[in-house]
Structure 1
């Protein structure tokens, strides 16, 4: 008998939802068994564990970055408040503040907001998968 002939069988029990999932995944294959063989061939437990570890590390990094962004946003608000106090006391030119400082602060606040929004979207997608 040829060594590469497939003579071994595996009995697999699936519920209706799992069977539908298998059928949908196997649409691009000649047979469902070909899809299963391909999936098992591609699956690498060590590689998967490495990916999970890397994603966990990335999650911690993003969380720390998000905390730092929040702190910097608070700092920007304090700078704005102090600048307004200095304007009120006559120690900072209002026109200079409005044309130079205020514009830069708004840009930074928008950047912080945008980055935090993107982080939130990434976390939502990760939690769904």
Structure 2
């Protein structure tokens, strides 16, 4: 595969809805070979149900961001161009991990907006996870 769109799951269904909506517009306006919905615990299936197209692959074993990327790599290998959709608070950590999992690919990470009180909660969560990955 040359160009793949990857949508990461979330425990928050409203965030997944935003991610799928963005994926829909990006996929239709670009030339992607396929879209991968990545997330365990029913997340990938939920996003696929919201998807308006075909040419999708489910990665439904992952429970962490690192697993999202590792299991996706097992599916697509080293792909020339990967666009990952998540939320804005998750972009820095996702980009950091994606560059390590896909060192020979051109990786872009796009984030949907996070609003309200959820934003501060996400900031602290992402900061704690970022520190964990950096010092592992």
Same fold (TM over 0.5): no
Q: TM-score under structure 1 normalisation?
A: 0.22
Relative contact order, higher structure (CA 8 A, sep 6+): 2
- Structure having the higher helix fraction is 1
Q: TM-score under structure 2 normalisation?
A: 0.21
- Structure having the higher strand fraction is 2
